[in-house]
């Protein structure tokens, strides 16, 4: 596991938009009566929306998984386009399974406020596809002289509606841009839809989905375009395991062939002839041991029976119940007591 990128290191690949005051946080939670802040819907849409030809070109490139997939929209650009560059272009990734029953409704609301093509359901569009094809499409045409595509790529920001896992997944994929020299990396804002929302809370976006969410969404989108940008530490993890082991890794870990078994490790038995390697990035927590087993089990339970996940409170109850069957008391630890000592320690996040 490599050392973290420090918060003060200007080369840090990941940026996240943070709120600047407690008042902004109160506004985001829907308590607008205290702040009296009103956001005009049409003005907001004008600032956030990209020209139609850019939206369609980016979407077609993603769907076809081809950087050239949206070229026809540039060639057939409408003469009605007046050359106006979007002031604060935004794309939204939403985990429609998060937020209990609010996920699909929130997705529809976001599409109304911005545009349908700029709101991506993670069930349909993965963040690495957006990076490799959507942003690459803008970069290609920006380099070919399209000023709107160039400025949109330079100013674009990302909003993630989901829990800590979803946010980490998107951040990890955006990190590819820095690794390949495709700067700037878009800043990221958060709409907290998860169970814990620790990352969202740390950066002032709130620890839960607001009750007055319809009005809060407009304020969140507005703040995502104006909030200050802070750095976020990222950790690179490489996981090695004996070949032949079948696992279902989380989104944050990807299989890689560029990996060599660490000969200095103390292991029981002989060194395997072949190893499988996975690598990824994490930001706030990385767990090995009992708590990881509980979290991993809860993740699969929620995917297999999504009707059980009706919201953060219900999730926490299920999580607690699951930990009693998989944790200290009734686990495989009974047959392997050494697992009891494999508890991980959360890594703190630093803000510059």
Mean pLDDT estimate for the chain:
76
Which phi-psi region, left, alpha or beta, contains residue 269 (left: φ > 0; alpha: ψ -120 to 50)?
A: left
Could you identify the residue written with the tokens 């994929």? Answer: 173
Is pLDDT of 16 > 50? yes
pLDDT of residue 130: 96
d(CA 267, CA 246): 19
pLDDT of residue 64: 94
pLDDT of residue 91: 96
Is pLDDT of 310 > 70? no
Is pLDDT of 215 > 70? yes
The more confidently predicted of residues 203 and 132 is 132
Write the secondary structure of the chain as one string of H (helix), E (strand) and C (coil): CCCCCCCCCCCCCCEEECCCCHHHHHHHCCCHHHHCCCCCHHHHHHHHCCCHHHHHHHHHHHHHCCHHHHHHHHHCCCCCCCCCCCCCCEEEEECCCCCHHHHHHHHHHHHHHCCHHHEEECCCCCHHHHHHHHHHHHHHHHHCCCHHHHHHHHHCEEEEEECHHHHHHHHHHHHHHHHCCCCCCCCEEEEECCCCCHHHHHCCCCCCCCCCHHHHHHHHHHHHHHCCEEECCCEEEEEEEECCCCCCCCCCEEEECCCCCCCCCCCCCCCCCCEEEEEEEECCCCCCCHHHHHHHHHHHHHHHCHHHCCCHHHHHHHHHHHHHHHCCCCCHHHCCHHHHHCCCCCCCCCCC
pLDDT of residue 210: 67
pLDDT in tens, 73-86: 888 776 556 678 88
Per the CB < 8 A criterion, the answer to whether 289 and 343 are in contact is yes
Band (pLDDT 50/70/90 cuts) for residue 340 is very low
Nearest residue to 19 (alpha-carbon basis) of 189, 164, 165, 168: 189
Band (pLDDT 50/70/90 cuts) for residue 343 is very low
Name the pTM for this structure: 0.74
* Weakest mean pLDDT among 122-131, 213-222, 271-280: 271-280
Mean pLDDT of 321-345: 51
pLDDT of residue 26: 40
Mean pLDDT of 46-66: 93
Query: What are the structural domains, with CATH classification, of the chain?
Result: 37-226 (3.40.50.10330), 235-262+271-282 (no CATH), 285-332+345-351 (no CATH)
The more confidently predicted of residues 54 and 261 is 54
pLDDT of residue 204: 84
Band (pLDDT 50/70/90 cuts) for residue 350 is very low
pLDDT of residue 76: 77
Mean pLDDT of 270-288: 75
pLDDT of residue 15: 58
CA torsion angle 210 213 216 217 (round to 10): 120
pLDDT in tens, 122-160: 999 999 999 999 999 999 999 999 999 999 999 999 999
Is pLDDT of 25 > 50? no
pLDDT in tens, 152-188: 999 999 999 988 888 888 988 898 898 899 999 999 9
**Strands 275-282 and 90-94: what pairing?**
unpaired
Residue 253, both tokens: 């870990």
């Amino acid at each position: 596991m490599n050392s973290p990128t420090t918060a003060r290191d200007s080369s840090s690949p990941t940026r996240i938009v943070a709120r600047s005051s407690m008042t902004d946080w109160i506004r985001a939670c829907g308590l607008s009566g205290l702040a009296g802040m009103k956001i005009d819907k049409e003005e907001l849409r004008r600032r956030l929306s990209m020209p139609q030809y850019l939206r369609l070109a980016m979407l077609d490139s993603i769907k076809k998984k081809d950087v050239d997939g949206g070229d026809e929209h540039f060639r057939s650009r409408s003469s009605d386009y007046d050359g106006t560059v979007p002031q604060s272009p935004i794309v939204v990734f939403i985990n429609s399974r998060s937020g209990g029953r609010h996920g699909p409704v929130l997705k529809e609301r976001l599409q109304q406020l911005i545009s349908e093509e700029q709101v991506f359901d993670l069930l349909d569009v993965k963040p690495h596809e957006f990076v490799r094809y959507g942003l690459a499409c803008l970069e290609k045409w920006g380099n070919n002289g399209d000023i709107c595509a160039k400025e949109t790529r330079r100013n674009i920001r990302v909003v993630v509606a989901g829990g800590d896992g979803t946010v980490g997944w998107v951040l990890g994929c955006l990190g590819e841009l820095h690794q390949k020299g495709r700067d700037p990396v878009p800043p990221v804002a958060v709409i907290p839809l998860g169970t814990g929302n620790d990352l969202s809370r740390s950066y002032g976006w709130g620890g839960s989905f607001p009750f007055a969410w319809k009005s809060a969404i407009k304020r969140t989108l507005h703040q995502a375009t104006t909030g200050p940008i802070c750095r976020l530490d990222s950790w690179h993890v490489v996981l090695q395991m004996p070949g032949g082991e079948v696992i279902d890794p989380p989104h944050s870990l990807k299989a890689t062939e560029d990996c060599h078994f660490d000969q200095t490790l103390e292991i029981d038995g002989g060194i395997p002839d072949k190893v499988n390697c996975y690598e990824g990035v994490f930001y706030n927590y990385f767990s090995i041991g009992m708590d990881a087993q509980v979290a991993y089990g809860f993740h699969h339970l929620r995917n297999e029976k999504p009707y059980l996940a009706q919201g953060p409170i219900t999730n926490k109850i299920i999580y607690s119940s699951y930990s009693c069957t998989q944790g200290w008391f009734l686990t495989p630890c009974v047959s392997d007591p050494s697992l009891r000592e494999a508890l991980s320690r959360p890594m703190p996040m630093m803000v510059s």
